[in-house]
Amino acid sequence: MHNQNKIFRVLQLIQLLQEQPNAISQIAESLEATERTVYRYLDLLRELGYVIRKDLVGRYFIHHPDKSYFSPEEVQFLLQLLQNTAKKSILARAVLRKITVRFVDQDHDIEDHHFRSGHNLVQLMEAIKKKRQVELINYHSASSESISNRLVEPIRFTPDLQCIAAYEIKSKTTKYFHLNRIEAVRILDQRLKHEVLHRFVAPDLFGFNETGVELSIDLALTFKAQIWIREAYPQSASMISEIQKGKFYRLITTIYDERPLRRLMEGLPEDIFFYSDWKKGKK
């Protein structure tokens, strides 16, 4: 997850520096990062071959942004690297398609809906930066079983980059829209009008968004269960702590839907317990 966020910010930085010179403070604000982190990202771009320069008032920009700094060997390496994560990361799929179109003579085997999700992500990034309303074209809603256009004000992406939190004008609520269910994103000229009503709550461990119901869970896990959960849900790493060296672990978090938890406990009945029961010696 950390690497996905880093890639996301570096791509934002490249876009910023290609458009116009920016001061370090401006970049830090746009990326929601510290100035120290911005300097590290600039060093990373230099290592990748980008020519970073400063104008007369100390603002940074990329010199000759259209020039390719990747050798054929580097392109192949990037393709192989991104292929390994393309099935799980929309951002990886977007970068993979761009590299393929820009540097490779043949089209790459990426499903069209994956490419569409990546394009939607880039469009929404642009709308957030410019503080513009957008229209989500033909959004496929599983809850209402309908397909319709949605007029929204984008707020921010979920940590896994699978959804966008956005304030929907019609319903006057913040909702979470899956990028792969949006056929297209149209950026409008209308600037944001309801920022005071924007709110963002990150999805829970299982990827469910806020429903108005919060369930606090406190579980005891065997060594086997904590390994399985860490692999299936990487964001769980910060929620798990060791309570009996090498044998038992504790997971504490808040979820918005109990169904995935119930399925998880039914699938590993000998490895996942409520912490209160475990502590009492019931196993």
Q: Which residue has the higher pLDDT, 136 or 47?
A: 136
State pLDDT tens for residues 234-263: 778 889 999 998 899 999 999 988 888 999
CATH number, domain 215-279: 3.30.70
What distances in angstroms separate CA 259 from CA 120, 164, 204, one per listed residue?
A: 30, 23, 12
Sign of the CA dihedral running 270, 206, 95, 179 = positive
**Residue tagged 């209308």 (tokens):** 190
For residue 207 the two structure tokens come to: 């990827």
Q: CB 187: neighbour CB atoms within 10 A?
A: 15
Give the residue with greater pLDDT, 71 vs 268: 268
The neighbour count for residue 165, using CB atoms within 10 Å, is 22
- How far apart are alpha carbons 227 and 46 in whole angstroms? 38
- What was the pLDDT predicted at 30? 85
Q: Give 5: exposed, middle or buried? Use CB within 10 Å, 0-12, 13-18, 19+.
A: middle
Taking only the tens place, the pLDDT of each residue in 23-62 is: 999 898 888 889 999 999 998 888 877 888 888 788 898 8
Q: Give residue 268's identity as a one-letter amino acid code.
A: L
In whole angstroms, give the CA distance from residue 116 to residue 257: 29
* Among the four given CATH numbers 3.30.420.40, 3.30.1330.90, 3.90.1150.10, 1.10.10.10, the one describing domain 2-112: 1.10.10.10
Contact call for residues 251 and 217 (beta carbons, < 8 A): yes
| Predicted confidence band of residue 110 (pLDDT cuts 50, 70, 90) | very low
Q: Mind listing the pLDDT tens digit for each residue in 197-248? A: 998 877 888 877 766 678 999 999 999 999 999 888 877 888 999 999 889 9
DSSP H or E run through 2 = helix 2-19
Residues 34 and 18: their CA atoms lie apart, in Å, by 20
Instruction: Calculate the alpha carbon distances from 155 to 64, 171, 210, 277 in Å.
Output: 32, 16, 15, 41
**pLDDT single digits (tens) 144-182:** 788 999 999 999 887 666 788 999 999 998 888 888 889
* Burial of residue 249, with CB atoms counted within 10 A of its CB: 0-12 exposed, 13-18 middle, 19 or more buried: buried
Q: Which pLDDT belongs to residue 64?
A: 64
Helix 35-47 vs helix 2-19: angle between axes, to the nearest 10 degrees? 80
- Asked if the domains at 132-197 and 215-279 fall in one CATH topology, the answer is no
Average pLDDT, the chain: 80
Determine what percent of the chain is predicted with pLDDT higher than 70.
Answer: 76
Are 78 and 70 in contact by the 8 Å Cβ rule? The answer is yes
What are the C-alpha distances in Å from 164 to residues 134, 150, 153, 154, 180? 12, 13, 10, 7, 11
Going from N- to C-terminal start, the domains of the chain cover 2-112, 132-197, 215-279
CATH 2.30.30 fits 132-197, yes or no: yes
